[in-house]
């Protein structure tokens, strides 16, 4: 059977998280399945009953209501506690023309190796790596990823930097495709009213590599009070600029709260710990002048696209794909990573008279249809005719 793209239809299994699991990985798996199905392929998702033990994922793992349309062909048979089920899942996928393993963490590798052991040796398999290796690595991460990437037929990553990392772990073909948007469905924000609120937004899971501490120090470099005492003489345009931090704190709140108090930012920083439901996202973005992404490192992120969907400029460090997603001086500002003075200058530049309004006027949501078409072409085209080697 031919698909709407003119190519033969494939029987594809995508192995990865889906609802009731939350977050970008689950959104991507689900949107990928929908897009493959719309292109004429026969698709199933092999998802999880239980994905990680709690000590490996300290945040909230599941949600009660789906954020978007769940994929109807979703099976939830995998369980990290049941290795026998991994092999049985592999056996059930022996009729597939392509198996896609969505790799979010090396913790998934044992279960994926179990699935591979159940497949026929000539079943083509692609490892779709959101992160080839974690930002904060453990000693077992490299050996596990080497073992997985040497067992698959091909690897798909979302940046050239990730491709270089993958090529250091495997001789298998590594291909790069820009990660298209897979944003959670939510109510649209109200049209922007043009007001400058002097409030910034940090959004998403709080982990050390995301640089919240750098942002706090940059914000404190403006005129702030010192531990509740007399305010310093104003030195920058950051006077009165506030920050909302909305997301799960994996390491707890104590360290962040202590830093906020030390920097004298208690009255200017609002902490909203916990997972942010999709229905609450429009209000958060509507209340801010810009989204700030002060990451020390990055691979691919949806946050720039999300901000642009809500008409919000982005202030980001030049890591991962941010330097390409944000047009410096047009719809946001790009600065050096892990550099408090550089981020301070970026914030001051953003709040120069007339700049928030001008940068907001330059924001344009991206048409991700062509990006998805190219992504599916790389994913399905790269593996045609592949046979698993030794």
**Bridge partners, 48 (sequence order):** 78
The tokens for 379 are 């994913």
Low-confidence ranges of the chain (pLDDT < 50): 1-6, 187, 223-235, 385-390
* 11-180+369-381 and 199-361 have identical folds: yes
Where are the alpha helices (H) located in the chain, listed in sequence order? 23-38, 83-92, 109-118, 141-149, 160-167, 212-220, 254-262, 281-286, 303-309, 322-325, 340-350, 355-361, 369-381
Crossing angle between the packed helical segments 369-381 and 23-38, to the nearest 10 degrees: 80
**Domain residue ranges of the chain, discontinuous segments joined by +:** 11-180+369-381, 199-361
Q: Do 243 and 197 touch, CB atoms closer than 8 A?
A: no
Pairing relationship of beta strands 242-247 and 42-50 according to DSSP bridges: unpaired
Give dist(CA 17, CA 337) in Å, integer. 31
Query: How many of the other CB atoms lie within 10 Å of CB of 237?
Result: 18
Q: Measuring CA to CA, which residue among 69, 93, 70, 2 is closest to residue 40?
A: 2
Secondary structure class of 287 (helix, strand, coil): coil
pLDDT of residue 232: 44
Query: How many of the other CB atoms lie within 10 Å of CB of 378?
Result: 16
Phi-psi domain of 286 (left: phi exceeds 0; alpha: psi -120 through 50; beta: other): alpha
pLDDT of residue 60: 63
Handedness of CA 172, 113, 106, 31 (dihedral sign): positive
Q: pTM for the full model?
A: 0.80
Q: How would CATH label the architecture of 199-361?
A: 3-Layer(aba) Sandwich (3.40)
**Neighbour-count burial of 7, counting CB atoms closer than 10 A to its CB (0-12 exposed, 13-18 middle, 19+ buried):** middle
Q: Do 307 and 285 touch, CB atoms closer than 8 A?
A: yes
The CATH fold assigned to 11-180+369-381 is Rossmann fold (3.40.50)
The tokens for 350 are 């953003």
Give dist(CA 199, CA 21) in Å, integer. 31
Q: Do 50 and 80 touch, CB atoms closer than 8 A?
A: yes
Q: Residues 154-185: pLDDT tens digits?
A: 999 998 889 999 999 999 999 999 888 776 65
Give dist(CA 279, CA 270) in Å, integer. 19
DSSP structure string for 231-257: BPPP-STTTT-EEEEEE-BTT-SHHHH
Buried/exposed 297-308: b ≥16 CB within 10 Å, e otherwise: bbbbbbbbbbbb
Cα radius of gyration rounded to whole Å, the chain: 22
What does the DSSP 8-state code read for residue 70?
Answer: -
Q: Residues 321-348: pLDDT tens digits?
A: 898 899 999 999 999 999 999 999 999 9
């Amino acid at each position: 059977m031919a698909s709407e793209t003119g190519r033969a239809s494939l029987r594809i299994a995508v192995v990865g998280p889906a609802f009731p699991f939350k977050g970008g990985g689950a959104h991507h798996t689900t949107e990928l399945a929908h897009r493959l199905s719309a292109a004429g392929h026969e698709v199933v998702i092999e998802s999880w009953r239980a994905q990680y033990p709690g000590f490996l994922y300290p945040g909230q793992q599941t949600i009660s209501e789906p954020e978007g349309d769940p994929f109807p062909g979703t099976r939830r048979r995998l369980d990290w506690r049941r290795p026998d089920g991994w092999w049985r899942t592999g056996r059930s996928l022996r009729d597939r023309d392509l198996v896609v393993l969505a790799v979010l963490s090396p913790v998934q590798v044992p279960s994926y190796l179990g699935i591979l052991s159940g497949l026929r040796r000539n079943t083509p398999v692609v490892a779709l790596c959101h992160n080839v290796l974690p930002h904060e690595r453990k000693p077992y991460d490299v050996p596990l990823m080497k073992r997985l990437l040497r067992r698959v037929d091909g690897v798909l990553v979302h940046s050239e930097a990730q491709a270089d990392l993958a090529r250091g772990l495997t001789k298998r073909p590594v291909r790069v495709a820009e990660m298209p948007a897979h944003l959670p469905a939510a109510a649209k924000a109200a049209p922007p009213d043009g007001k400058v609120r002097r409030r910034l937004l940090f959004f998403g899971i709080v982990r050390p590599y995301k640089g919240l501490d750098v942002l706090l120090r940059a914000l404190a470099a403006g005129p702030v009070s010192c531990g509740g005492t007399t305010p310093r003489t104003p030195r920058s345009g950051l006077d009165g600029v506030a920050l909302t931090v909305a997301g799960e704190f994996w390491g707890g709140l104590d360290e962040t709260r202590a830093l906020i108090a030390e920097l004298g930012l208690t009255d200017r920083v609002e902490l909203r710990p916990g997972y942010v439901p999709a229905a609450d996202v429009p209000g958060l973005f509507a209340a801010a002048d810009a989204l700030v992404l002060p990451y020390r490192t990055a691979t691919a992120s949806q946050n720039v696209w999300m901000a642009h969907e809500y008409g919000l400029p982005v202030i980001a460090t030049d890591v991962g794909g941010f330097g390409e997603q944000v047009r410096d001086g047009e719809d946001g500002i790009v600065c050096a990573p892990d550099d408090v003075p550089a981020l301070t200058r970026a914030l001051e530049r953003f709040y120069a008279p007339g700049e928030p309004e001008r940068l907001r006027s330059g924001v344009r949501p991206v048409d991700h249809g062509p990006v998805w078409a190219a992504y599916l072409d790389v994913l399905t085209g790269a593996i045609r005719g592949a046979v698993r080697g030794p």
